[in-house]
Amino acid sequence: AQSVTQLGSHVSVSEGALVLLRCNYSSSVPPYLFWYVQYPNQGLQLLLKYTSAATLVKGINGFEAEFKKSETSFHLTKPSAHMSDAAEYFCAVSDPSNTGKLIFGQGTTLQVKP
């Protein structure tokens, strides 16, 4: 069984500040991990993915995440927040044998203050 926990349903940062969105996972098999972003009334856009290659993964829009097996974490970071980063962020896990079946975390709303 797999599950994802996102710590903090709402994160607020100032423009230019570090963004840190937390994600912890549980998986009985080595997982694939993903971060998606959702803007209001839209579908999901992939930010980045971990599929057992490099543990530090770089994505679009300056985001990156590090897979830490010892901590079962896959936190999302961005050095400097931009106003356009304000959105809903979802961490997701899948079994490599069935990558179509994504298990999503509860989501974190990122607010960026000017």
- Segment contacting other proteins by CB under 8 A, of 11-19, 32-40, 54-62, 67-75: 32-40
How far apart CA 75 and CA 87 sit, in angstroms, is 16
Among 44, 59, 62, 86, binds other proteins (CB under 8 A): 44
Site string for other proteins, 49-88 (x = CB under 8 A): x-x-------------------------------------
Rama region for 97: left / alpha / beta (φ>0; ψ in -120 to 50; rest): alpha
25 vs 34, beta carbon nearer other proteins: 34
Close Cβ partners of 73 (under 8 Å, ≥ 6 residues apart): 22, 23, 24, 25, 66, 67
How far apart CA 76 and CA 6 sit, in angstroms, is 11
**Interface positions with other proteins (CB under 8 A):** 32, 34, 36, 41-46, 49, 51, 90, 94, 96, 99-107
